[in-house]
């Protein structure tokens, strides 16, 4: 058996743990080759606990000892074994309150377009439930609650940027698509943390239920450290599968700047619409927009230029989860991504038949470049005035 061990099937984190004298169980995600079936009997014999089946990547999640993991690499049907990494909300820090209105001055409002927000949940803020409740669905992968809530605030803030109607502010803090519907998926806990395997289950659930909620867009204001190239990255595989199922996928690149090569997964996917943050609030650059210092930079491990584009991400005023008619400011690429998701919802009002690649092309063509490298800004800042010109 030892002669058949293939260390190339292991991610760097697991390889690092092999050097430890400990043989404790660790959480892993096992991906099988696309034309092979999961061998549940084989997994059960090596694992104390099979936690999740993950058909979206033709795999499963479980806990295994390092010894068992090594044995499993000898299975010719196993493609890759990755560590079940932590996923986290890509939020920076709360900043000084500003008055900002990023709603589009068009006849489109995102009406009848459903956006799935994979995050910490969404609180029943007045700007989302009055005069009509537009939180049309809720799925809780953390605490299995049936009534929608947000015990962190991150998801609610993102939902407001995307779809808040400004009810409590008399229109002042209106979101990009103020009549869009929200499908809230709670997969991050009260601290904004979750696991890769839970995100994979979430994306599968969205795909399976997309007709019931008329879901067209997925917003990822979260991510995990990109440890491997696209073809082996579970989150990238899931995001790409969603695109294959006619969903539009938008993801924040993360807040690990200003260093290069810091884009989070699944924003590392060449197909996903990956969003960085600009700082249009800097007093030092009154006339010039600059890249937010925290915004992650490309390229990816596959040398792909990322982000695809940028949007404001500093001191963004949006909904509070504590005061359900109040507002708060947050900064981060998490705040930039729902602006782009909102713009995608407006484009679907223009033409419901647009697919992911149609939307991506139109968004990138509506960007204006600033004084920054392509690995910082991609195509540039989305100019909302140019989208429908």
Which domain, by its residues, includes 327? 88-382
Same domain, 66 and 17: yes
Write down the catalytic residue from 119, 189, 198, 233.
119
Please say if the pLDDT value at position 91 is more than 70.
no
Write down the catalytic residue from 195, 265, 334, 336.
334
Residue 387 falls inside a structural domain:
no
Write down the catalytic residue from 47, 82, 154, 265.
154
Q: Is 194 exposed, middle or buried (0-12, 13-18, 19+ CB in 10 A)?
A: buried
Residue 47 falls inside a structural domain:
yes
* Domain C-terminal end among 30, 57, 84: 84
Same domain, 115 and 245: yes
Please say if the pLDDT value at position 284 is more than 60.
no
Domain count, the chain: 2
Residue 11 falls inside a structural domain:
yes
User: What is the residue-averaged pLDDT of the chain?
Assistant: 88
* Domain C-terminal end among 33, 55, 84: 84
Q: 20 catalytic, yes or no?
A: no
The mean pLDDT value for 177-206 works out to: 96
Residue 171 falls inside a structural domain:
yes
Residue 198 falls inside a structural domain:
yes
Same domain, 327 and 256: yes
Same domain, 80 and 92: no
Residue 147 falls inside a structural domain:
yes
Q: What percent of the chain has pLDDT over 90?
A: 68
pLDDT tens string 294-321: 999 999 999 999 999 999 898 888 999 9
The mean pLDDT value for 173-195 works out to: 95
Same domain, 223 and 370: yes
For residue 104, give the CATH number of its domain.
3.40.50.200
Please say if the pLDDT value at position 105 is more than 80.
no
* Domain C-terminal end among 64, 84, 104: 84
Stretch among 11-20, 94-103, 307-316, 331-340 having the lowest mean pLDDT: 94-103
Please say if the pLDDT value at position 95 is more than 60.
no
Please say if the pLDDT value at position 2 is more than 60.
no
pLDDT tens string 13-65: 888 877 765 667 889 999 998 777 777 777 877 876 666 889 999 999 999 88
Same domain, 77 and 132: no
Q: 125 catalytic, yes or no?
A: no
Same domain, 168 and 202: yes
Same domain, 257 and 331: yes
Same domain, 74 and 92: no
Same domain, 11 and 62: yes
CA distance 65 to 59: 18
The mean pLDDT value for 156-180 works out to: 94
Residue 389 falls inside a structural domain:
no
For residue 73, give the CATH number of its domain.
3.30.70.80
Same domain, 94 and 45: no
Residue 388 falls inside a structural domain:
no
Same domain, 104 and 237: yes
pLDDT tens string 61-78: 999 888 899 999 999 999
Q: What percent of the chain has pLDDT over 70?
A: 90
Q: 184 catalytic, yes or no?
A: no
Between residues 329 and 150, the one the model is more confident about: 150
**pLDDT value, residue 13:** 83
Please say if the pLDDT value at position 92 is more than 50.
no
């Amino acid at each position: 058996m030892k002669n058949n061990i293939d260390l190339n099937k292991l991610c760097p984190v697991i390889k690092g743990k092999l050097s430890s004298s400990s043989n404790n169980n660790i959480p892993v995600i096992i991906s099988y080759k696309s034309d092979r079936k999961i061998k549940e009997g084989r997994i059960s014999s090596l694992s104390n606990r099979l936690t999740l089946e993950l058909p979206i990547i033709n795999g499963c999640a479980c806990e295994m000892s390092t010894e068992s993991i090594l044995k499993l690499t000898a299975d010719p049907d196993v493609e890759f074994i990755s560590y079940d990494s932590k996923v986290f909300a890509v939020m920076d820090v709360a900043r000084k309150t500003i008055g900002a209105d990023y709603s589009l001055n068009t006849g489109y409002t995102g009406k009848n377009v459903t956006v799935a927000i994979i995050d910490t949940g969404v609180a029943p803020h007045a700007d989302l439930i009055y005069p009509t409740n537009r939180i049309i669905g809720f799925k809780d992968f953390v605490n299995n609650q049936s009534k929608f809530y947000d015990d962190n605030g991150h998801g609610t803030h993102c939902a407001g940027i995307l779809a808040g109607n400004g009810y409590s502010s008399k229109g002042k803090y209106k979101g990009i698509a103020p009549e869009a519907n929200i499908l809230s998926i709670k997969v991050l806990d009260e601290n904004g943390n979750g696991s890769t395997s839970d995100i994979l289950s979430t994306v599968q659930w969205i795909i399976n239920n997309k007709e019931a909620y008329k879901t067209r867009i997925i917003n990822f204001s979260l991510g995990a450290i990109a440890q491997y190239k696209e073809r082996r990255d579970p989150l990238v595989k899931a995001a790409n599968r969603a695109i294959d199922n006619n969903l539009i996928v938008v993801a924040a690149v993360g807040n690990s700047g200003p260093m290069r090569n810091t884009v989070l997964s699944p924003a590392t996917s060449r197909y996903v619409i990956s969003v960085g943050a600009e700082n249009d609030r800097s007093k030092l650059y009154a006339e010039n927009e600059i890249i937010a210092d925290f915004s992650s930079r490309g390229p990816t491990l596959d040398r792909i230029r990322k982000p695809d584009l940028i949007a404001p991400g500093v001191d963004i005023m949006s909904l509070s989860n504590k005061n359900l008619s109040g507002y708060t400011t947050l900064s981060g690429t998490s705040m930039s991504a729902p602006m782009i998701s909102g713009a995608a919802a407006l484009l679907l009002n223009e033409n419901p038949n647009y697919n992911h690649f149609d939307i991506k092309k139109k968004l990138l063509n509506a960007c204006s470049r600033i004084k920054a490298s392509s690995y910082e800004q991609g195509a540039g800042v989305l100019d909302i005035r140019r989208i429908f010109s």
